[in-house]
Amino acid sequence: QVQLVESGGGLVQAGGSLRLSCAASASIFSIRLLAWYRQAPGKQRELVASFSWGGGTNYADSVKGRFTISKDDAKNTVYLQMNSVKPEDTAVYYCNADWYNGSSNWGQGTQVTVSS
């Protein structure tokens, strides 16, 4: 029943930046783990980055040093800052939350297209 709404995707040139947002309809303090995934056509969904309370952040090697997770507690929103984007970053990006009550859910996805 908790909703996750993603936004911020779009078209960006290689080397540019985007910030994706994942807004939750409940307090993000109730999220045990928030993960960003992406899926390109014909490929499996890939874990990009994650955040957990007390566990800090983790990043896939392919995005390490370029992508950063941050949060705004007041807005119940988690962000994925994407810098120095590459064409291979093109994918649909999803946020996924594992909640302390044991449930999990996904956002609707937002398309990121990086042009060269």
Q: How far is CA 22 from the centre of its chain?
A: 7
The two tokens of residue 26 are 């409940």
Please say if the pLDDT value at position 1 is more than 80: no
State the average pLDDT over residues 6-31.
95
- Integer Cα distance of 96 and 27 in angstroms: 14
pLDDT level of residue 96 (50, 70, 90 thresholds): very high
Per-residue pLDDT tens over the stretch 48-82: 999 998 789 999 999 999 999 999 999 999 999 99
Q: Across all residues in the chain, what is the average pLDDT?
A: 95
At residue 53, the pLDDT reads 83
